[in-house]
Amino acid sequence: MPDAGYKGHLAVVLHAHLPFVKHPEYEDFLEEDWYFEAVTETYLPLLEMMEGLVADNVPFALNMVVSPTLAAMMEDRHHAGRLRRYLDRNLNLARKEVRRLQGDGSLGPVARFYLERLERLDALYMDRYGGDLLGALRRMMDLGHLELMTCAATHGLLPVLRRNRSAVRAQVRIGALEYERHFGRRPMGIWLPECGYYEGVEDFLADEGIRYFVVDSHCLKFADPTPVNGVYAPVFTPSGVAAFGRDPESSKQVWSGEEGYPGDAYYREFYRDQGYDLPIDLVRDFVQPTGHRKQTGLKYYRITGDVKLDRKSPYIPGAARDRAAEHAGNFMFNRERQIEHLAGALGRPPLVVAPYDAELFGHWWFEGPDFLGFLFRKAAFDQDVFEFTSLSGYLRANPVQQVSAPATGSWGDKGYFEVWVNEGNDYVYRHLYHAADEMSRLCAEYPDADGIRRRALNQCARELLLAQASDWPFIVTMDTMVEYAHRRIREHVLRFGRLADQVRRDAIDESWLGTLESRDSLFPEIDYRVYGEGT
């Protein structure tokens, strides 16, 4: 909770999100590894970090988004089984590597480090949490250290979907309902996907009792009227929902691989992995059905500097951890000076909001969870300038704020949706608009469906939501798994159209419907009529 004795407050916000990827029709599917890697490298290490703080009675407050699609995978039995297999494969490889590198003074210690780490995380996941990641997050929230936020149902980019009001309403309402189902309470805050805001979206948030959201810096800079405190205090939108602005200074220090901490020479090199370095006979479990290799998570080298991958120096875990401690101290020092300056300039305690993708911490920046742990510990004992706060805690302590309407915008390159709407991916939106209009028409035609027709209409809603995920156009722009992104858009739109046709012809293929319900199995309590309250 904010305290009047401090000169200001710092809110760290981690946005944990992955698209829903489930392929039981394949024995092994590369894109499912996105989830397994994130659990092993980000979510479990973050929980381990928080468990250590609790055990040592270190006060801290962290804000974290758990998107509904991520939560769906965390509770799904299919994902639980394959995560268990993924951990077993990695543990088996790590044990083999410790034996192979015994006596190697450079890489042997790194192999032992990975084995001990994997054994520790495996015990945390299975023995302490019983495989229940949502329960572990709920416990940390109940202890008062973690504020969990929701997100739109499938991370649909709301400003682009607003052509059909029911499409926006469904994304927001299902996100709120899923949060309530998982955590036993209504959400106080929501992460607007890609920080995508347009004037009026807050009305849908207010309808769900949501109190706040986060926008990028320029959305407050160009708000009407201009916020007198810039991004260093929230504004209340006309609907009463608060908008918090991202602080660009603290973001850049952590985000940037060139100028920020993650690019330090002692940190682990992400792009050199044993899955590609080892002879193929030693990594058979990490070869795709296509014959292509994939990452194992065992990475033995550090960033080193501007040298080719084969010239990288061996990773030294202790040295990297020391650098994380130094960088945490530097980040703390910079926030102290920033907050002292702002307090004098504003004449009130400022709030610095520092939002990041959660997967930056651990997956991309391996030492990121250590950095956060050191930051919380140092801030608790080595300074008295600022206090960590939850966003709802800040609002409770500061219930009076300026009323202003933020400007339309997003985060990402150039700040105005270009990452998600460009010549490479804009074809998708005409199909999404048509499907959303069709969903509204289906609700009008069948306002009280039951039996198999109700099941089919609920599945129509799922397929539409999955097609709307902002992840697919993002992947196309980033030129990574492009074919998979196009495939997902195409398949969900086609499934929606086929189901809608079967509903109207009263000729629903129950066997096929059951396959879709099993494969695209998120949102078990979905009610298609969320699309039927007007457009």
199 among known catalytic residues: no
**Cα(531)–Cα(442) distance, rounded to whole angstroms?**
9
- CA nearest 76: which of 48, 16, 35, 136? 35
How far apart are the C-alpha atoms of 390 and 60, rounded to whole Å? 10
Q: Residue 329 in contact with residue 342, Cβ under 8 Å? A: no
Handedness of CA 220, 224, 227, 230 (dihedral sign): positive
Question: Is 520 assigned a catalytic role?
Answer: no
From 33, 48, 194, 438, active-site residue: 194
Place of tokens 């040295």: 319
Q: For residue 490, with 0-12 CB atoms within 10 Å meaning exposed, 13-18 middle and 19 or more buried, which class applies?
A: middle
* Beta-bridge partner residues of 287: 293
Tokens of 421: 């709407």
Nearest to 147 by CA among 212, 55, 241, 57: 212
Cα distances (angstroms) measured from residue 241 to each of 149, 161, 528: 14, 21, 27
> Please, where are the H alpha helices in 279-420?
317-346, 368-382, 391-397
The count of other CB atoms within 10 Å of the CB of residue 409 is 24
Strands 235-236 and 146-151: unpaired
Query: What is the maximum alpha-carbon separation in the chain?
Result: 72
**Long-range CB pairs of 492-496, under 8 A, 24+ apart, other chains included:** 492/463, 492/464, 492/466, 492/467, 492/520, 493/431, 493/432, 493/435, 493/463, 493/467, 495/459, 495/463, 495/520, 496/435, 496/438, 496/439, 496/460, 496/463, 496/464, 496/467
Residue 244 has φ and ψ, to the nearest 5°, of -100, 140
Parallel, antiparallel or unpaired: strands 146-151 and 62-66: parallel
Compute the 3-state secondary structure of the chain and give helix, strand, coil in percent, each to the nearest 5.
Answer: 55, 10, 35
Q: Are 236 and 402 in contact (CB under 8 A)?
A: yes
Closest to 363 measured CA to CA, from 126, 9, 14: 14
Phi, psi angles (nearest 5°) of residue 433: -65, -45
- CA nearest 500: which of 531, 472, 535? 531
Catalytic residue, candidates 28, 122, 322, 357 = 357
Active site amino acids: 194, 357
